[in-house]
C-alpha cells in the first residue's frame, strides 16, 4: 500500500502529465512535485487519505490543467496564484457510487 510517493519523483523534470488515481492509502504528495517544471497536467482523484498538496504547487508555471476529485481528507488548498497558464480547474467530492463507476471504467 502506497502511503507516499518517492522524493525522486522531482527528478522527472521533463514529465508533462501526472495522474494519481485510486491510491487509497496515499497521504501526502512530496514537495519534490514542485520540481516538475514541464508538468502541464496534474490529476489527483479518489485518493481518500490525501491530506495536503505541496505548498509550492503554485510554482508549476507550465501547469495548464489541474483536476482534483474525491479527496475527502484534503484539509486546505495551497496558493495557486502563480499558476498563470492554468486554464482548467476541476474539483468536487465523490460519492461512493460515483467512485465505483469511475473505478470500473479504469
Q: Would you say residue 39 lies in a domain? A: yes
pLDDT of residue 104: 53
Q: Would you say residue 105 lies in a domain? A: no
Which helix (H) or strand (E) is 105 found in, with range? Answer: helix 96-105
Q: Would you say residue 103 lies in a domain? A: no
Report residue 79's pLDDT band, with 50, 70 and 90 as the boundaries: confident
| Beta-sheet pairing, 41-45 with 88-92 | unpaired
pLDDT of residue 105: 54
Give the domain extent around 41. 7-96
Q: Would you say residue 62 lies in a domain? A: yes
Which helix (H) or strand (E) is 45 found in, with range? Answer: strand 41-45
Determine the Cα–Cα distance for residues 103 and 73; give it in Å rounded to an integer. Answer: 19
Count of beta carbons in the 10 Å neighbourhood of residue 66 = 21
CATH number for the domain harbouring residue 36: 3.80.10.10
Query: Is pTM, for the whole model, over 0.85?
Result: no
What is the average per-residue pLDDT within 59-85? Answer: 89
Determine the Cα–Cα distance for residues 10 and 31; give it in Å rounded to an integer. Answer: 8
Determine the Cα–Cα distance for residues 54 and 10; give it in Å rounded to an integer. Answer: 12
Which helix (H) or strand (E) is 65 found in, with range? Answer: strand 65-69
pLDDT tens, residue by residue, 10-47 = 999 999 999 999 999 999 888 999 999 999 999 999 99
Amino acid at each position: 500500500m502506497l502511503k507516499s510517493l518517492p522524493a525522486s519523483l522531482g527528478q522527472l523534470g521533463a514529465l508533462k502529465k501526472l495522474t494519481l488515481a485510486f491510491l487509497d492509502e496515499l497521504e501526502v504528495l512530496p514537495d519534490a512535485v514542485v520540481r516538475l517544471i514541464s508538468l502541464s497536467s496534474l490529476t489527483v482523484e479518489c485518493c481518500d487519505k490525501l491530506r495536503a498538496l505541496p505548498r509550492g504547487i503554485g510554482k508549476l508555471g507550465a501547469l495548464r490543467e489541474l483536476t482534483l476529485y474525491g479527496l475527502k481528507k484534503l484539509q486546505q488548498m495551497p496558493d495557486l496564484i502563480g499558476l498563470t497558464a492554468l486554464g482548467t480547474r476541476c474539483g468536487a467530492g465523490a460519492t461512493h457510487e460515483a467512485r465505483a463507476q469511475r473505478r470500473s471504467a479504469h
